[in-house]
Structure 1
Amino acid sequence: MKIQLLSFILFCFVTQIIAAQVILNANGEGNTYEDINAVLAPNYDIVEVPDCAHSSFGRHIDEVFDKDLNTYVFRFVAHVNQDNDRCKKFDRQRIEIKTYGKSPKNLKGTEGETVEYKWKFKLPNNFKVSKNFTHLHQIKSVGSAYSSLPIISLTARKGTPDGLELRHAPTDSQNTVATVELDLLKGKWVEVTEVIHYSNNGSYSIEIKSVSNDSKIFEYNNDRIDMWQDGSDFMRPKWGIYRSLKRKEDLKDEVVLFNSFSIEEIPALTLEELEKKADKKQLVADSKKQIINFKNSRADDYDEVQLYNSSGKKISSKNIIKKYKIQVSELSNDSYYIVFSKSKRAVKVLKCLVE
């Protein structure tokens, strides 16, 4: 009997629900489209495949057992000559899954939200890519005048050497902001963690690491980046194979494996959370002194330091926090929370009394 699809939502409570995670994993052969839809858009269809053009092959996404991960995974299959983009466009082909307007609210990124996306994928050793585009992941807007252009895309592209490009498009202009050699990803399972704060004054981070040894392959962080296409209703993720057919001679039939899709909203810290996470040992500082040090917090453990007052309100820390030091003389007598964050998640909270 087929094991029920692993689809669950984890809730963290303070006085209300403050976080929700949705996970999609393969669970065995059969009913693949139905299982994907049940998680990403219950009672609707968000699987975009060329089955209409290549009905003799059957479904272009199925589930197979993977010996490396010792579990079932999703297999995305693209054929150069038989497949197209859902019998709508014939110069490209699309085998993708997504969230969209009919998806649950917590699967759609809205302005001001911070969302973490995670997934695993494996490219074959002999993976071939177009010089035009071979998208493996996109973040797209809905409702914006620029919605035809993904605000974020991971695009494999033929070159010397072939590369995986991270591309950014806040308007109708798209730029490559970072590239990693494609050979570094081929033939192995990799895990991607992407954290986005959706705002014109937003932030974006991505890390790709090897599943087998946890080694980092690629990393990019930007805390001052436009991550909201004006006029958008929401942002949504897409995963799969979406490639140009204009240079068929560069391509071959492909199989790309995916699994462990996760979408999680990262809520803003509440006063209750700050108090709960705070170190039991409270720092006490004399306001007459210029600085206090927190050298026991290693810089590698965090990428941002924030300051909250005793009411749980985030306050400007510009010119106050400098690496391992806080300019106490700039603060009023009060209790403060010093929050060390990694990819927008609080990893350490220190409570400091200025008197």
Structure 2
Amino acid sequence: MKEFKLFTFLFCIILTQLSYAQVLLDADGSGGVDTYDLINSVFAPGYDAVEEPDCSHTPTFQHIDELFDATLGINVFRFYLHVATDTDRCNGSTDRQRNEIKTYDKSPDNLKGVEGETVIYKWKFKLDAGFQVSPNFTHIHQLKSVGGLYSSMPMYTLTCRKSTPDRIELRYAETNSQTTLIQTDLAPFKGEWVEATETIKYGTNSSPDAGTYSIELKRVSDQSILLTYTDNATKNWQIDAEFVRPKWGIYRSLNNAQDLRDEEVLFANFSVEESSTLNIEEINRHGIILYPNPTSDDLFIKNLDKIEFDNIAIHDITGKQVLKQEALGNSIIVTSKLKSGIYFINFNNNNLPTFTSKFVKN
């Protein structure tokens, strides 16, 4: 445990040195209306980042509270929805209901994804062992544009759906219609804490500004990967959008309410990290050449001798160091043993990061 805490501390220092803008939201055990205040203090200080149907109840019911979770050993957030009484944010809608937290236009800038930026979203969630879904949607996470032509349609959605067997789906929309990118059996998720890591570069699908996207859902108890998906060249920026925001919670259709029950989902350890990865112009300005990117085999780096570096370290999207080697004038990074995905390459001086870039392993 001491070693883990030391690694976490050192990694936080590394992120700071790399000019990562990281925002954390953790439950503190306060509960009740104080939970809303806690969420707002992080996601939208002075405003309201909670979309809840509290007014549906007499007396008013708090739809997000906190409890101590013995498995994780920390306080966590508990999101409730009731089939018979809850609406969509108290607006009277009867065909759907939601209880979500979000970032939005009142949030700090480092919680808004903008074009050309790479953002890493992390969180944990636990579906109840008896979790029920309908043939319609039960969303637990979305990335959604604000402004533009398609602001009503989330770009990426994690949703659960009744089927044979019940499934969890990752859905994507470039414009105003969604497609399913990947789906898998919902059963292994039930009653288990799952850690999510989602990395997105907000960009178009034209080189060199292609958007990239990856997500990994990993069971906490045994580190088994339950769902993984990567796209190294896609469109992650909708026309005339102002920014993109994340949402978490329960948002479900009531069109088949007979399939549903009063439901709860647990969430913990929300993290939003904006990566200050070196763009192509900055790399060229330093005279460093990094190619090919994406790569299927080796990654070549030229002209490192133009800036003083001790070593090169490679981290995956979770922050784990997977490779480290001496920085020479011309270096070769052997990536054959790396899994497909997005990696960050740190150019270190005196073992501290001087700057970082990003590459994709096919």
Superposition TM-score, scaled by structure 2 size: 0.77
Do 1:155 and 1:164's aligned partners in 2 also have CA atoms closer than 8 Å?
yes
Secondary structure, in 3 states, of the residue corresponding to 1:127? coil
Tell me the distance in 2 between the aligned counterparts of 1:104 and 1:333: 36
Q: CA deviation at 1:154?
A: 0.1
Is 1:23 the equivalent of 2:24?
A: yes
Which residue does the alignment assign to 1:130?
Answer: 134
Give how far 1:112 is off.
Answer: 0.4
Greater Cα shift, 24-33 or 94-103? 24-33
Partner of 2:327: 351
Q: What is the CA–CA distance in structure 2 between the aligned matches of 1:267 and 1:333, rounded to whole Å?
A: 20
Q: Which residue in 1 is equivalent to 2:261?
A: 252
Structure 1 counterpart of 2:298, from 297, 305, 324? 324
- 1:152 Cα deviation (Å)? 0.3
8 Å CA contact retained: 2:161, 2:167: yes
* C-alpha RMSD over aligned residues: 3.0
| Matching residue's letter, 2:63 | H
Q: Is the 8 A contact 1:310 1:335 kept in 2?
A: no
- What does 1:1-355 align with in structure 2 at a 5 Å threshold? 12=15, 18-30=19-31, 31-56=34-59, 58-88=61-91, 89-200=93-204, 201-269=210-278, 311=286, 313=288, 315-317=290-292, 323-324=297-298, 340=314, 342-343=316-317, 348=324, 351-354=327-330
SS of residue paired to 2:54: coil
The question of whether the paired residues in 1 share the 8 Å contact of 2:147 and 2:241 is answered with yes
Aligned-partner Cα distance in 2 for 1:152–1:169: 7
Describe the shift of the 1:349–1:195 C-alpha distance in structure 2 as closer, same or farther (beyond 3 A): farther
* CA distance in 1: counterparts of 2:162 and 2:121, whole angstroms: 26
SS where residue 252 of structure 1 aligns? coil
Query: Which runs of no fewer than 5 residues in structure 2 stay unpaired?
Result: 1-11, 205-209, 332-362
CA contact (8 A) 2:142 2:247 kept: yes
> For 1:213, what is the secondary structure of its paired residue?
coil
The SS at the match of 2:232 is strand
Q: Closer, same or farther in 2 for the Cα pair 1:236/1:318, shift >3 Å? A: closer
State whether residues 270 and 312 of structure 1, in contact with CA within 8 Å, keep that contact through their aligned partners in structure 2.
Answer: no
Q: How many angstroms apart in 2 are the aligned matches of 1:58 and 1:71?
A: 24
Report SS of the residue matched to 2:39.
helix
1:353 match: secondary structure: coil
Structure 1 CA distance for aligned equivalents of residues 42 and 299 of structure 2: 46
Compute the displacement of 1:267 (Å): 1.1
Aligned partners of 2:22, 2:303: CA distance in 1, in Å? 38
Where do 5+ consecutive residues of structure 1 fail to align?
Answer: 1-8, 272-307
TM-score w.r.t. the length of structure 1 is 0.78
Secondary structure of the 1:101 match is coil
AA paired with 1:226?
Answer: K
Structure 1 residues 158, 18: closer, same or farther in 2, change over 3 A?
same
Paired residues in the alignment total: 306
**The residue matched to 2:277 in structure 1 has which SS?**
coil
Match of residue 343 from structure 2: none
Q: CA–CA distance in 2 between the matches of 1:233 and 1:267?
A: 19
The answer on whether the counterparts of 2:154 and 2:172 sit within 8 Å (CA) in structure 1 is yes
Match for residue 281 of structure 1? none
Distance (whole Å) between structure 2 residues aligned to residue 82 and residue 333 of structure 1: 63
- Of stretches 231-240 and 167-176 in structure 1, the one that deviates more from structure 2 is 167-176
